[in-house]
């Protein structure tokens, strides 16, 4: 990213060749356009599959299992980064992502 100091005062925005001109906090900057990667990596595809399987498992839980998971999170002090107790859906997703092959329904 390059800050442009133009004594004439004209400001341009948009794309020109391989550069993009834009305003950033009231000053004009120029940056290089990087091409987007076309294909996701094998690791990214594996993570997407794990997440999809975790969502499917979570959506298949019964009402009793949901109540149990929420009560378990509250009773054992399982909290998020803000110190708030996890809801059943967040806790179920956390469980499913930790062990992607084995899903235990209480």
* Contact (CB, 8 A) for 63 and 36: no
If phi > 0 it is left, if psi is from -120 to 50 it is alpha, else beta; for residue 83 that is: left
pLDDT band at 64 (very low <50, low <70, confident <90, very high): very high
Spell out the domain ranges in the chain. Answer: 7-32, 42-98
Q: What is the pLDDT of residues 1-50, one digit of tens each?
A: 555 555 555 666 777 777 888 877 777 788 888 777 788 889 889 889 88
Q: What is the pLDDT of residues 68-77, one digit of tens each?
A: 988 988 898 8
Whole-prediction pTM: 0.52
pLDDT band at 91 (very low <50, low <70, confident <90, very high): confident
Looking at residue 6, its pLDDT comes to 58
Contacts of 28 (CB under 8 A, 6+ apart): 3, 4, 6, 11, 12, 13, 21, 22
């Amino acid at each position: 990213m390059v800050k442009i100091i133009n004594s004439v005062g004209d400001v341009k925005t948009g794309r020109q060749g391989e550069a993009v001109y834009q305003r950033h906090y009231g000053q004009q900057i120029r940056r290089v356009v990087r091409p987007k990667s076309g294909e996701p990596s094998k690791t990214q595809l594996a993570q997407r599959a794990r997440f999809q399987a975790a969502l499917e498992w979570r959506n298949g839980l019964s009402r009793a299992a949901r109540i149990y998971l929420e009560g378990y999170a509250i009773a054992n002090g399982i909290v998020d980064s803000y110190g708030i107790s996890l809801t059943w859906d967040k806790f179920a997703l956390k469980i499913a992502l930790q062990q992607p092959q084995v899903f235990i329904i209480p």
